[in-house]
Structure 1
């Protein structure tokens, strides 16, 4: 094959690769691979967070058995529980994307609401300005959830 034929073949290959269908197929494959890598990484994060929570509970209950309670502040324990729940919801978002290849807005909003709820649970009452921001975030996310949920239910019927 001559140099000219090789160049023509390369140009033909690049032209076909840049067609919309081929390009979109390549992008979809990349999104799928990235989603799977994120899911695997998130599994590690979930196990590490769960291990930290179980370690805290175990040592806290063993070391403070005589006191009959938690040595760590209860809000810290709740925060760690909510961290695991948020990670599980993120995993649900990723697996839903892998199943249906669409981002499920309802799940994203619920995850965001859970993250804001976690922030409220572990909130430092000395920072009043932050409370207003959290209130606005909760209101906005709640309205968003209501709108998305209403739209999803109307599409099902």
Structure 2
């Protein structure tokens, strides 16, 4: 009886992940179309070379948001294939999200403590990523 319930729960969990993957794919496709439209509209209007830094930052912000969506999709796909959350992919996703925050942050109005905190987060994420990669390579060598 317990195995049947666990199998049902696993099927529901897989269905939820598949739905999330489909919805995320739709969001990424529409975001990519919006990103292309932003670039194309700037080219057509003749303002592309006259973009202000705020316009360029908003373009990069949107670009990195699409990239985060793709990495999130990769995380869900990896989970569906292995039934394990791959910490390496999650760390890459977090590093990209922090990089996005750094690119769009306004240092004039951001408190120094917030900037230092972001630095600590970056260090922790990259150190964790390095340790996981090193651990994976050591475990492959010992086989």
TM-score, structure 2 length as denominator? 0.88
Match of 1:13 in 2: none
- Residue 132 of structure 2 is matched in structure 1 by 148
Q: Between Structure 1 and Structure 2, how many residues are aligned?
A: 138
CA distance in 1, matches of 2:73, 2:29: 12
Match of 1:64 in 2: 46
Larger radius of gyration: 1
**Cross-structure match for 2:118:** 134
Q: CA RMSD in A?
A: 1.6
Higher helix share: 2
How far residue 26 of structure 1 moved from its aligned partner, in angstroms, is 2.1
CA distance in 2, matches of 1:50, 1:76: 14
Q: TM-score, normalised by structure 1?
A: 0.81
Instruction: Give the whole-Å Cα distance in 2 for the aligned partners of 1:42 and 1:142.
Output: 26
**What are the superposed Cα offsets for residues 12-68 of structure 1, whole Å, 9 maximum, x if unpaired?**
xxxx2xx2x223222221221111011001011101211221111011111125x73
Matches within 5 A, 1:1-157: 16=1, 19=2, 21-65=3-47, 68-70=49-51, 73-126=55-108, 127-128=110-111, 129-157=113-141
